[in-house]
Amino acid sequence: MPIIDVTLIEGRTPAKKVRLIEELTDAAVRALDAPIESVRVIIREVPGYQFGAAGKPKSPPPPVDE
């Protein structure tokens, strides 16, 4: 059973995530000859401030209430 685990920075529309699931499923079916019923896709979303590249967060952290 192919399991495709995707991590994204939050903010994409539900429609975009549905399309991603469909496209990744189709790719797994084609590449692996896997039955479509066996393909699983997991989307995990993280806030931009918890995602870093080149030593910098994608977005600033939210203000902290003291």
Query: For the whole model, what pTM was predicted?
Result: 0.84
pLDDT digits (tens, 9 = 90+) for 2-51: 999 999 999 999 999 999 999 999 999 999 999 999 999 999 999 999 99
Would you place residue 66 in the very low, low, confident or very high pLDDT band (cuts 50, 70, 90)?
A: low
Q: Give me the pLDDT at residue 24, please.
A: 98
Rounded Cα gap, residues 21 and 16, in angstroms: 9
Helix H or strand E segment including 17: helix 14-32
53, pLDDT greater than 70: yes
Give the active site residues. 2
What is the CATH code of the structural domain delimited by 3-48?
Answer: 3.30.429.10
